[in-house]
Structure 1
Amino acid sequence: MPKTKFQHFKALKNQRFDYVFLGSSRVENGISPEIIKNKTGKSSVNLGFQASKLSDVYLILQLLDAYHISYKKVFIQIDYIFNMEGGSSNILSYEILPFIHENEAISKQCLFHDPENFWCNKYLPFYRYCRTSQKNGIREVVSKTIKKKSAAFDQLGYAPLSGNFVNGKFMLPKKVASTNKFYNEIVSYATTHRKSVVFFTAPFRFVNQSSNYIQKLETKIPNLKNFSNELQNDAYFQNNNHLNHTGAVAFTTLLIEKLNL
């Protein structure tokens, strides 16, 4: 029985969806496929992974094909992660490590994330399990043995957040990176494989909007769908970067309207 979100993703092999949503926790906690299904009749899956950067998004985009998961359109959330060319998700990296031998895309991402331990992770028996025992060790084995139910995919990848914004300050970067190689890889892959890709920016709770980061980002990403300032009410937010469930309902409904889902 699948335990992690990545294992649930692998279990979607040979399935078909109308829409796929990729990105970080700002996707995972902010977009409900169930609402899309109820309002439009269209199928979708939320493949946002916690702390993902564009390198992780590129990996998942490739693996959709590797696992023969078909779709009509893929929506990719992008914001300040455009500036993080060298970054990747620690959480997703833990989850893919047991599958380091499965294909070249996973192997390359493991190398990118942890070059110092790559050889040992790939070629020394049990080394990768010892290094990540808290994530991939005995607790995982026990959970699978007793078939412990995972909540990782109860709502097709959507993970609702509770609670309301209390306090805190947030500001986007002042400058946009000149380029991001993984963004370029995503665009190239989509073009080569004839994928319909739409880039969008999810809502923020802005305390100070003196930064025009998203407007600058729009010059780097043609046709970027900018929803960064669409939800103004603090009641929609769990924190400055993430919507709570009420906000996710509002944002998913907005996407249905604005993106003609």
Structure 2
Amino acid sequence: MKRFLIYTAKIVLVTVLIAFLLDGLYTYVFMHSNNRGKIEKVFNSKAQKYDVVILGSSRANNHFVAQMFEDRGLKAFNYGMSGGHLFEASLMLKLMIERKYEIKNVILEADLNLSNDHQAEGISARFLPYIHNSEIIKDHFSHESDFNELYYIPFYRYIKYDSKIGFREIFFITAGKKTNAQDNLGYFPLEKHKNGNMKNNIVNLNPLNRNKYYEEIRTICKKHHINFIPVMTPICENTVGMNYFQKVKKIYPEIYNYENVVVEDKYFSSCGHMSDAGSKKFTARILEDFFKK
């Protein structure tokens, strides 16, 4: 029995040591990555100066043509993240402030994601390699139900989110394989598809009376003297439940409603996402309304 207990203890000890070793190795790799995605672009960067920073979900990533801002002489980058929520947008802005970014304007896509204050696990997981190296990230995740496991158990986060930050990602980073996340100054253009889904139903969607992460972004902008421009972006005219945008306007009257600025199906790749042509039309309107010389 004694031998068995000693043997078991040795296995446990070796397992823990390997977990610590792998955790340190994976984290080291992520700490030296800067060409795979937008999160590491910010985390591993030094102070930057931007005239315009764009935040939000895919409806930011696919809708704001950053180059059009640059063509107006405005240094810009689209940090919208497909699949992301305001949880991730707020954390991204916090990291920029932590890195001493100087930002004049933040454009926030704030519409459908106002209906929840949850993390988007597939996106938020990409912040986790840095959780021990940033008080900002640690604090942001500290109220999540699985925080203790993610923070205190070595290598647990890499196992749980293996598809996002596991071995495959480590391999691509070490191999120097880039993604298209940072192409086009962060903007991801979509094509018009012949069979694109032009129907949507948001009847059951309701904006929260107080979205924690929207409020965080607004407060950060006010504290750091950043001009805050929250907008609702276009959605196809066949959407059922369009009164959602009026509900948003009632709760958050400061948000600019652009949901019907571009409506024709020819400008959409799918009901919730404009094609490149639609995005250029929309971005031109934003430039006209907020950045007219």
Fold match by TM threshold 0.5: yes
Moved over 4 A (4+): none
> Using the alignment, how far apart are the partners of 2:239 and 2:77 within structure 1?
33
Moved more, 176-185 or 250-259: 176-185
Bigger Cα Rg: 2
Mark the CA change 1:62 to 1:151 in structure 2 (over 3 Å): closer, same or farther: same
Structure 2 residue 238 is the aligned partner of structure 1 residue 207? yes
**Within the alignment, does 1:169 sit opposite 2:170 as a pair?**
no
Deviation at 1:209, TM superposition (A): 6.0
Instruction: Structure 1: state its 5+ residue gaps.
Output: none
One-letter identity of the residue aligned with 1:136: I
Alignment of 1:226-241 (within 5 A): 226-241=257-272
Indicate conservation of the 8 Å contact 2:42/2:95, yes or no.
no
- With a CA cutoff of 8 Å and minimum separation of 6, indicate the structure with the bigger relative contact order: 1
C-alpha distance in 2, partners of 1:65/1:157? 19
Residue deviations 1:162-186 (CA, integer Å, cap 9, x gap): 2336334223346443222222333
Paired amino acid for 2:91: L
Matched, 1:250 2:255: no
> Displacement, 1:14?
0.9
Give, in whole Å, the separation in 1 of the partners of 2:161 and 2:38: 17
Question: Where in structure 2 are there 5+ consecutive unaligned residues?
Answer: 1-32
TM-score normalised over the length of structure 1: 0.89
Is 2:103 the partner of 1:74? no
Shift of the 130–177 alpha-carbon distance from structure 1 to 2, 3 Å rule, reads closer
Name the counterpart of 1:31. 64
Backbone CA RMSD of aligned residues: 2.1
* SS of residue in 2 equivalent to 1:6: helix
Identity of aligned residues (%): 28
Cα displacement (A) at 1:208? 4.6
Cα 1:41/1:192, change in 2 over 3 Å:
closer
| Structure with the larger helix share | 2
Structure 1 residue 4, shift from structure 2 partner = 2.3
Are the equivalent residues in 2 in contact too, given 1:5–1:152 (CA < 8 A)? yes
* Alignment check: 8 A CA contact 2:198 2:236 kept: no
Q: Distance in 2 between matches of 1:4 and 1:208?
A: 32
User: Number of residues paired by the alignment?
Assistant: 257
